[in-house]
Amino acid sequence: MHDKSVAELARELESGKISSVELTRQFLGHLKQEDEQLNSFITITEDQALADAHAADEQRAAGKATPWTGVPFAHKDIFCTNGVATTCGSKMLANFVPPYDATVTENFRKAGAVCLGKTNMDEFAMGSSTESSHFGATTNPWGLGKGEKRVPGGSSGGSAAAVAARLVPAATATDTGGSIRQPSALCGVTGLKPTYGRVSRYGMIAFASSLDQGGTMARTAEDNALMLNVMAGFDPRDSTSLDRPVPDYTATLDEPLKGLRIGLPREYFAGDLNGAVEEEVRSAIREYEKLGATVKEVSLPHANLAIAAYYVIAPAEASANLSRFDGARYGYRCADPKDLLDMYTRTRAEGFGAEVKRRILVGTYALSAGYFDAYYLKAQKVRRLIQQDFIDAFREVDVLMSPTTPSPAFKQGEKSDDPVTMYLEDVFTVAINLAGIPAMSVPAGFVDGLPVGLQIIGDYFSEARLLNAAHQFQQVTDWHQREPQ
C-alpha cells in the first residue's frame, strides 16, 4: 500500500478494500522501521494518527468522505499542530507544544486526512541540506543504495525524503528560497511552491515573511493538485493571503499541452550547472516538444543578482521574525539567568544553531544604521528588477523551464562548513520567491543514480497550468515512479 499515490489510496478507501485504521497501521509500521536510517521525522504521532484514522472511517461510513478522508500524510515541523510538538528543527522550540493549529493544519484536519507526524527540516527553514536540524540530519534515500549518505536538500528535506522513501504519499512543505523545489529535485519527488499569498501562512513559523510560502510535495503532480485543493485559499487571519477563487486543481490536469509556449532562461543554463544535469533537463524539455509545446530562449537579465538580494532580504526579515524567541513566554530558556540581558543573550546563543545565528546577525547588520540603504533598500530595488524580468518574460511565453539545482544531491558534510557554497544551491530558485510567482520541481532523470529536477516556473496564480504541465509530462515519463533501493 505504501507505494500508492494519494489518488490511489483514496480509491482503495472508497472501494472499502481497506479501512483507514488498517492503512494507517501499515504506514506507521513501515515508517517506524524505515525512518531509523533516514531520520526524516522529528515526531511520529502514532496514537493521534490511529484516533484520526478511526474518526475518518466513521466519517466515510457516514457518507461524508472527501478525497483526503483517511489518507495518511505528514506535516513539515514548521506548521503548528495543536497539542503536538512543533519544533521548527530548533532546540529553541524543542519543548514547544502549541495550543493552536496553523490554517494549513486545520484544513487537512477538516478534510479528514491522517497526519502521521512531523518531518525534519533545517532549523527555522534556513538551509539547503537538512543538516542544521537540532534533531540530526536527514539522509537522502537515493544515496543509501550505494552506501552513501547524501543530503535530501532543504529545508524541507524531511518531507522530501519521507515521500521518496514511500513513508508517506505526501507531505506539506514550505519554500522561502527553494526549500520545496530543491529537496524535491534532490529526492526525485514532485513539489510545488504556490504563488505568494495563495496558501495561508497563519501558524506556519515565519522565516522571511515576504518570501515564505507553504506548498506541496508528493510523488505525482496529481497528488500535488489534491494537496493544493486543501491548502489554497483566503484566510482572514493572514493579511497577505489573497481573496480570490480557488479552482479545482485536478480539473485541468488532463488538458493537452499543444501550443504551450516554453521559455528557457539563458541565465539558468549557465555558470556552475553540471553538464549531465543540463543534459537530463534538455531531454525532458524535448519530451515537452513532443507533447506539442514550443520552446524558445528568453533572458532574465538580473538573474545573477537574485542570490545577493535574497541573502539580504531574507536575513533582514528573519532577524526581526526571530526576535520573539527570547525565553520569556514559551520555548527554551537558559538555565539560571542572572538578569534579563543574560536571559536574552544566553537563551538565544544556546537555543539557536550556527546558521540561524549567522542569518540573524547578517540581517541585523543589513538593517542597522549606516548600512540600511546600501543593503536592505538596494536589495529591495533589485528585487523589483528581478520581478520585472519575469513579467517581461511571461509576455512572450506561458512557462519557464530550467534545472531546479545546478547538481544532484551532495554528500553530507560536503558544504556544511561553508555557508556561501551552500547558498549557491539556491541559484535557480530564489528569484522565484523574490518575485512571488509559483514554480514546481518535477523528476526529470538521473545522474549517477541520483535524481535530477526540472523546474517549471509560471506567472502569478498559474498553479493549475504548472500542475497540468507536470501531469502531462508524468503521463509519458516514469522518473517520478522510480524508487530508491
Partner 1 sequence: MTISREDIEKVAVLARIRVDEAQVSALEKDLGNILDLVDQLSAADTDAVEPMAHPLNAVQRLRPDEVTETNQREAFQAIAPATENGLYLVPRVIE
Partner 2 sequence: MQWDIVIGLEIHVQLATRTKIFSGSSTAYGAEPNTQANAVDLAMPGTLPVPNEQAFRYAVMFGLAVNAEIERRSVFERKNYFYPDLPKGYQTTQLERPIVGPGYVDIDLASGDTKRVRIHHAHLEEDAGKSLHEDFHGMTGIDLNRAGTPLIEVVTEPDMANADEAVACARKLHGIVTSLGICDGDMSQGSMRFDVNISLKPKGSETLGTRTETKNLNSFRFMEQAIAHEVERQMDILEEGGTIVQETRLYNGDRDESRSMRTKEEANDYRYFPCPDLLPVEIDDAFIDEARNSLPELPDARKTRFKEQYGLNDYDAGLLASDSKLAAFFEATAERGKDAKLASNWVQGEFSARLNAEEKSVADSPISGAQLGDLVVRIADNTISSAGAKKVFEALWSGENDNVDAIIDAKGLKQVSDTGELEKMVDEVLASMPDQVAQYQQESDPKKQKKMLGGFMGPLMKASKGQGNPKLFNEILVKKLGG
Q: What is the DSSP string of 439-468?
A: EEEEEEEEETTEEEEEEEEESTT-HHHHHH
Asked if 86 interacts with partner 2 (CB under 8 A), we say yes
Q: Which stretch of DSSP H or E encloses residue 46?
A: helix 46-61
User: Of 145-153, 222-230, 363-371, 439-447, which segment contacts partner 2 by CB under 8 A?
Assistant: 363-371
In the bound state with partner 2, the residue whose beta carbon lies nearer, of 131 and 326, is 326
In the bound state with partner 2, the residue whose beta carbon lies nearer, of 225 and 309, is 309
Q: How far is the CB of 405 from partner 1 (least distance, A)?
A: 18
Contacted by 311, from partner 1, partner 2, none: CB < 5 to 8 Å by type: partner 1
Q: How far is the CB of 262 from partner 1 (least distance, A)?
A: 23
Q: How far is the CB of 201 from partner 1 (least distance, A)?
A: 12
Kindly tell me the sign of the dihedral angle through the C-alpha atoms of 173, 179, 184, 190: positive
Query: Which amino acid does the sequence have at 477?
Result: T
Contacted by 15, from partner 1, partner 2, none: CB < 5 to 8 Å by type: none
Asked if 82 interacts with partner 2 (CB under 8 A), we say no
Which grid coordinates are listed for 431? 528569484
> Is 20 a residue of the active site?
no
Asked if 238 interacts with partner 2 (CB under 8 A), we say yes
In the bound state with partner 1, the residue whose beta carbon lies nearer, of 112 and 197, is 197
> Is 200 a residue of the active site?
no
Q: How far is the CB of 195 from partner 2 (least distance, A)?
A: 15
In the bound state with partner 2, the residue whose beta carbon lies nearer, of 176 and 416, is 176
In the bound state with partner 2, the residue whose beta carbon lies nearer, of 337 and 449, is 337
Asked if 330 interacts with partner 2 (CB under 8 A), we say yes
Asked if 360 interacts with partner 2 (CB under 8 A), we say no
In the bound state with partner 1, the residue whose beta carbon lies nearer, of 375 and 473, is 375
CB 485 within 8 A of CB 145: yes
Distance separating the N- and C-terminal Cα atoms of the chain: 17
Instruction: Give 214's strand partners.
Output: 174
Contacted by 152, from partner 1, partner 2, none: CB < 5 to 8 Å by type: none
* Residue whose grid cell is 532543504: 154
Q: Which of residues 218-237 bind partner 2 (CB under 8 A)?
A: 236-237
Length of the chain counted residue by residue: 485
Q: Give the separation between CA 301 and CA 113, rounded to whole angstroms.
A: 44
In the bound state with partner 2, the residue whose beta carbon lies nearer, of 37 and 323, is 323
Give the chain's count of helices (H) and strands (E).
16, 11
Which grid coordinates are listed for 269? 543554463
CB 187 within 8 A of CB 153: yes
Asked if 257 interacts with partner 2 (CB under 8 A), we say no
Cis ω for the linkage preceding 155 (within 30 of 0): yes
* Residue whose grid cell is 537563551: 347
In the bound state with partner 1, the residue whose beta carbon lies nearer, of 258 and 338, is 338
> Is 258 a residue of the active site?
no
Q: Which of 6, 31, 42, 80 binds partner 2 (CB under 8 A)?
A: 80
- Which residue among 5, 19, 20, 76 is the active-site one? 76
Q: Give the separation between CA 178 and CA 174, rounded to whole angstroms.
A: 9
Size of the site for partner 2 (CB under 8 A): 42
Which grid coordinates are listed for 481? 515512479
The number of CA neighbours under 13 Å toward the Cβ of 123 is 22
Contacted by 428, from partner 2, partner 1, none: CB < 5 to 8 Å by type: none
- Which residue among 5, 90, 159, 179 is the active-site one? 179
Asked if 17 interacts with partner 2 (CB under 8 A), we say no
* Residue whose grid cell is 525565553: 327
Q: Give the separation between CA 69 and CA 99, rounded to whole angstroms.
A: 24
Asked if 269 interacts with partner 2 (CB under 8 A), we say no
User: Of 97-105, 115-123, 395-403, 409-417, which segment contacts partner 2 by CB under 8 A?
Assistant: 97-105
Asked if 95 interacts with partner 2 (CB under 8 A), we say no
Q: Which of residues 308-327 bind partner 2 (CB under 8 A)?
A: 316-317, 319-320, 323-326
Beta strands in 114-183 (DSSP E): 114-119, 170-175
Among 203, 197, 176, 186, smallest CA distance to 404 is for 186
Q: Give the separation between CA 85 and CA 107, rounded to whole angstroms.
A: 18
In the bound state with partner 1, the residue whose beta carbon lies nearer, of 135 and 375, is 375
Q: Give the separation between CA 170 and CA 177, rounded to whole angstroms.
A: 21
Which grid coordinates are listed for 209? 515573511
CB 156 within 8 A of CB 183: yes
Asked if 199 interacts with partner 2 (CB under 8 A), we say no
- Which residue among 20, 40, 90, 155 is the active-site one? 155
Q: Give the separation between CA 432 and CA 65, rounded to whole angstroms.
A: 36
Asked if 98 interacts with partner 2 (CB under 8 A), we say yes
Kindly tell me the sign of the dihedral angle through the C-alpha atoms of 462, 464, 467, 473: negative
Asked if 385 interacts with partner 2 (CB under 8 A), we say no
* Residue whose grid cell is 478534510: 111
Contacted by 201, from partner 1, partner 2, none: CB < 5 to 8 Å by type: partner 2
Asked if 367 interacts with partner 2 (CB under 8 A), we say yes
Q: Which residues contact 136 (CB under 8 A, 6 or more apart)?
A: 39, 120
Residues engaged in binding partner 2 (CB under 8 A) = 79-80, 86, 88, 93, 96, 98, 100, 102, 201-206, 208-210, 236-240, 316-317, 319-320, 323-326, 328-330, 340, 344, 364, 367-369, 372, 376
Please give the positions annotated as active site. 76, 155, 179
